[in-house]
Amino acid sequence: MTPEGSVENALAELFRMSKARFGNAVKGYWLYAEETCPGCGRDIDLIKIKGKEAISLNALIHRKPGILIGYLLCKRCARQIFQAAEKNPYQQIPLHSTIEKNLIAAYDRYRNSLPA
């Protein structure tokens, strides 16, 4: 399976889980497929988890339209998020808000580019 294919599948699975948990608050999903990291603007690269190349898929819910946005991060941001989560899984770090802002802007740009 191509990395892109497995990301799509993972996102579809996340969507099913979110739907089960949040019901109609989640209406659809969208993959942020740009090559730059929504956290810092660097290129997205694969990270190694236990010696294997891995892609870390993350997701957040864009509440207004109810869209689950799947996204990938570069190594540095992925590590920063991972380390923050190890210390306190419920704490938002500034990087989270940067990512959220960039993803929501990207999604809104995408929506606006579609024919009405």
69 binds Zn ion (CB under 5 A): no
77 binds Zn ion (CB under 5 A): yes
Instruction: State how far the Cα of 19 lies from the Cα of 43, in Å rounded to an integer.
Output: 31
Instruction: State how far the Cα of 55 lies from the Cα of 38, in Å rounded to an integer.
Output: 15
72 binds Zn ion (CB under 5 A): no
Single residue of 26, 31, 72, 74 touching Zn ion by CB under 5 A = 74
Which of 15, 71 has the CB closer to Zn ion? 71
38 binds Zn ion (CB under 5 A): no
Opening angle at CA 98, ends 7 and 65, nearest 5: 65
Q: Are 56 and 74 in contact (CB under 8 A)?
A: no
Which residues bind to Zn ion, rule: CB under 5 A?
A: 37, 39-40, 74, 77
